[in-house]
Amino acid sequence: MEKSKPKENEKGKEQEVGKVSHYYTTIGVAVVELSKALKHGDTIRIKGHTTDFQQKIASMQAEHKKITEAKPKQSVGLKVTEHVRPNDVVYKLG
């Protein structure tokens, strides 16, 4: 039996980079606990039970300060284009 390949999209492979821990509805910001590094401009996919969309990272903050790069085990706030929920998985595309 053939092994299944990782999920791919038009830009390449998806790599899990973290999980949503909280979502601020009024400002459209998701708090993400990272397991891998993430940079401003990266394209991400957020997927969960009722969530599934892609977007580029346009705004990222840590400790209420704008940042351009985040490291593993860091908690960051990402401005998101759609509603997300705790435990939704964040993938980096490309």
DSSP state letter for 36: S
- Rounded-to-integer distance, Cα 44 and Cα 52, Å: 11
28-61 pLDDT, tens digit per residue, is 999 999 999 999 999 999 999 999 999 999 999 9
Tokens matching residue 4: 């299944």
Give this prediction's pTM: 0.86
Which tokens in the block code for residue 52? 């599934």
Going from N- to C-terminal start, the domains of the chain cover 10-93
What CATH architecture is 10-93?
Answer: Beta Barrel (2.40)
**Tokens linked to 58:** 């346009």
Q: Which two tokens stand for residue 7?
A: 């999920």
User: In the numeric block, which tokens belong to residue 67?
Assistant: 């940042």
The pLDDT, as a whole number, for residue 94 is 87
Place of tokens 């401003």: 40
pLDDT tens column, 60-84: 999 999 999 999 999 999 999 999 9
User: How high is the mean pLDDT of the chain?
Assistant: 91
